[in-house]
Amino acid sequence: MLVYADNAATTKMSKLAIETMLPYFDNIYGNPSSLHSVGQEAKEALEAARKTVAECLGCEPREIYFTSGGSEADNQAIQSAAWFGARKGKKHIISTAFEHHAVLHTLEKLRKEGFEITLLDVKENHNVSAQQVKDAIREDTCLVTCMYANNEIGSVLPIGEIGAVCKAAGVPFHTDAVQAAGHLHIDVKAQNIDMLSLSAHKFHGPKGVGVLYARRGMPLVNVIEGGAQERGKRAGTENIAGICALAAALQDACSHIDENAAKVTAMRDKLIEGLSQIPHCALNGDPVNRLPGNVSFCFEGIEGESLLLYLDAMGISASSGSACTSGSLDPSHVLLAIGRVHDVAHGSLRLSLSHYNTMEEMDHILHCVPQVVQQLRNMSPVWRELQNGERTYIL
């Protein structure tokens, strides 16, 4: 049995998304900037996709900018607010300690350019509160950027409340909604969101295409300079096939949000209940306000990477959450931010589900994970010390 449980990293494209793309590689190959009818056909498809995305988010089509993905949208949103803030002498930005690197690394760059960055603590409930945001806002705050839902531990932030706080204070609010779009209800107007990022490959669309929503009147600076595409705010010939597939996948996901969430939540809760029986473990992330498909645990006395390799051999694709992207052995910044100590953070496992998963697959996971954890513990010198009492358990 092959079980794909790494949907927070990327998702399998839906048949609908694949079929939506195909004509744009074949008959509808025009450049939307061309004035002739071949170009205009592509232009019509582009604008239809923009309208569809706007309907899904509750905004106007002219507030939608297509990008190369979530990372680019995050970069553009944050750089725009920073640039505009600096012009008014406001150089303070509020965010959270468990953002995606697309946000954190952009903020780090701004910090070196003289911006002051406040990263809100996420130890309480593995989440932030609107009150924390309110308390952090200053006269010189030019942006609040808080993710909608965390990609590693699944916490869903109180976005509507944070939006209301920002609106009352007159501070622009951006949210990285890459994990939320297509999975949770979003209404940018009702939630007072000024800018929002999303990415197609997290909701069964293609990789390399995303959206920046920017409320009308929000000033944008260009991350990519060149032609006048996307109302002059994002140069480059549009990825029409990707954009149309993004729109189709988002519409499909949004029109099945409740039924998919119910199905995925039932599988998630089965895994959380089953894995909680393993001794000396802890659930990561907000236990209540949580993404339907996220299961994240730390198991004391093991290495997450070994666990992953063993599970892969048993047909289960998961993630450790400890991003060794840089090749360093540092554990995940998210797990450290919620207060896990290094040793514990190294023993992490993230299983992220989609509506393509089945209950039989959950049974397989629940059969394999406890067995592999025990096997790894039996080989672990750390576990032996814990058992001997030479070391004290943390979990």
Ligand X SMILES: *Cc1c(COP(=O)(O)O)cnc(C)c1O
Closest contact distance (angstroms) between CB of 152 and ligand X is 9
Would you say 3 and 358 are in contact if contact means Cβ atoms under 8 Å apart? no
- Radius of gyration for the chain, computed over Cα atoms and rounded to the nearest angstrom: 22
CA 109 to each of CA 73, 82, 101, 257: distance values in angstroms, whole numbers, following the listed order: 16, 11, 12, 36
Nearer of residues 179 and 284 to ligand X, judged by Cβ: 179
Closest contact distance (angstroms) between CB of 193 and ligand X is 15
Closest contact distance (angstroms) between CB of 208 and ligand X is 7
Closest contact distance (angstroms) between CB of 277 and ligand X is 29
DSSP 8-state secondary structure symbol assigned to residue 13: P
Put residue 389 in one of left, alpha, beta given phi > 0 → left and psi -120 to 50 → alpha.
left
Closest contact distance (angstroms) between CB of 102 and ligand X is 5
What tokens does 191 get?
């939630």
Q: Is 100 in the site for ligand X (CB under 6 A)?
A: yes
Q: Is 153 in the site for ligand X (CB under 6 A)?
A: no
Nearer of residues 289 and 306 to ligand X, judged by Cβ: 289
Stretch that binds ligand X, among 64-72, 118-126, 309-317, 375-383 (CB under 6 A): 64-72
Query: Which string of x and - marks every residue 69-88 that binds ligand X (by CB under 6 A)?
Result: xxx-----------------
Would you say 188 and 196 are in contact if contact means Cβ atoms under 8 Å apart? yes
Among positions 164-183, residues that touch ligand X (CB under 6 A) are: 176, 178-179
Looking at 75, 106, 199, 357, which residue binds ligand X (CB under 6 A)?
A: 199
Secondary structure (3-state) at 241: helix
Size of the site for ligand X (CB under 6 A): 13
Q: Is 127 in the site for ligand X (CB under 6 A)?
A: no
Stretch that binds ligand X, among 48-56, 66-74, 112-120, 373-381 (CB under 6 A): 66-74
Secondary structure (3-state) at 231: helix
Residue tagged 């949770």 (tokens) = 184
Q: Is 102 in the site for ligand X (CB under 6 A)?
A: yes
Cα 95 from chain centroid? 15
Query: Which string of x and - marks every residue 18-57 that binds ligand X (by CB under 6 A)?
Result: ----------------------------------------
Nearer of residues 137 and 209 to ligand X, judged by Cβ: 209
What residues are annotated to the active site?
Answer: 324
Contacts of residue 199, defined as CB under 8 A and 6 or more positions apart, other chains included, come to 69, 70, 73, 178, 181, 209, 210, 211
DSSP 8-state secondary structure symbol assigned to residue 40: H
Nearer of residues 110 and 386 to ligand X, judged by Cβ: 110
Q: Is 205 in the site for ligand X (CB under 6 A)?
A: no
Nearer of residues 322 and 380 to ligand X, judged by Cβ: 322
Would you say 211 and 53 are in contact if contact means Cβ atoms under 8 Å apart? yes
Q: Which of 325, 92, 99 is nearest to 197 (CA)?
A: 99
Contacts of residue 37, defined as CB under 8 A and 6 or more positions apart, other chains included, come to none
What tokens does 332 get?
């995940």
Nearer of residues 65 and 383 to ligand X, judged by Cβ: 65
Nearer of residues 30 and 242 to ligand X, judged by Cβ: 242
Would you say 291 and 269 are in contact if contact means Cβ atoms under 8 Å apart? no
Closest contact distance (angstroms) between CB of 66 and ligand X is 12
Looking at 42, 49, 82, 147, which residue binds ligand X (CB under 6 A)?
A: 147
φ/ψ (deg, to 5) at 87: -60, -25
Closest contact distance (angstroms) between CB of 251 and ligand X is 19
- Contact residues for ligand X, defined by CB under 6 A: 69-71, 100, 102, 147, 151, 176, 178-179, 199, 202, 210
